[in-house]
């Protein structure tokens, strides 16, 4: 089969999966992500499938899918951040730091504010409050409208005063 045809079919399944995911139909979304990946595996496909799995609470499987994404495209930052976020959910804070730092170093990562925010969460959980403040501030400096980062920054700052 023609490679372009396979890519187009993969994109169609990915679009269906994404819509299902946005509608909260995670199991169905996962099935369509799998179909998409069967036709043409992409880092985005594995990352988004992991995201759908995390919505169902299956963080370990979500982490594995993100690792599959990294194998395909190690420069793509989203799966590194997502692994960090899933490890936070699993309360494996020390492990999360390395993944979040890799997200920040990834050449293809447009939403670095998320990794900074997640690092802030980790540092706060570890009692490293000044480091947490610095990361929260970086997050809302990158994206001034990032409410969670601002709220966390000012909440933590008020606790330290």
* Whole-number pLDDT of residue 104: 98
Q: If residue 20 lies in a helix (H) or strand (E), which one and from where to where?
A: helix 3-22
CA distance 3 to 20: 26
Query: In this predicted model, what pLDDT tens digit does every residue of 24-41 receive, in sequence order?
Result: 999 999 999 999 999 999
Q: Domain 1-110, CATH 1.10.1520.10 — does that match? A: no
User: Which segments of the chain belong to CATH 1.25.40.10?
Assistant: 1-110
What are the two backbone dihedrals, phi and then psi, of residue 145, each rounded to the nearest 5 degrees?
Answer: -85, 10
Query: In this predicted model, what pLDDT tens digit does every residue of 137-153 receive, in sequence order?
Result: 999 999 999 999 999 99
CA distance 90 to 62: 12
pTM of the model: 0.95
CA distance 74 to 148: 28
93-107 b/e (C-beta count within 10 Å ≥ 16 → b): bebbbebbebbbebe
> Is residue 114 pLDDT above 80, yes or no?
yes
> Is residue 1 pLDDT above 80, yes or no?
no
CB atoms inside a 10 Å sphere around CB 72: 16
* Whole-number pLDDT of residue 49: 98
Query: In this predicted model, what pLDDT tens digit does every residue of 54-85 receive, in sequence order?
Result: 999 999 999 999 999 999 999 999 999 999 99
């Amino acid at each position: 089969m023609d490679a372009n045809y396979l890519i187009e079919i993969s994109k169609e399944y990915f679009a269906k999966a994404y819509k299902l995911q946005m509608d909260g139909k995670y199991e169905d979304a996962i099935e369509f992500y799998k179909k998409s990946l069967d036709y043409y595996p992409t880092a985005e496909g594995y990352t988004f499938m992991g995201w759908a799995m995390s919505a169902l609470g299956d963080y370990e499987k979500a982490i594995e899918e993100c690792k599959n994404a990294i194998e395909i495209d190690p420069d793509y930052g989203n799966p590194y951040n997502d692994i960090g976020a899933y490890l936070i959910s699993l309360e494996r804070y020390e492990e999360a730091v390395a993944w979040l730092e890799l997200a920040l170093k990834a050449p293809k990562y447009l939403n670095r504010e998320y990794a900074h925010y997640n690092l802030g969460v980790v540092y706060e959980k570890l009692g490293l409050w000044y480091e947490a403040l610095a990361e929260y501030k970086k997050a809302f400096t990158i994206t001034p409208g990032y409410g969670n980062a601002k709220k966390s920054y000012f909440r933590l700052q008020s606790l330290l005063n």
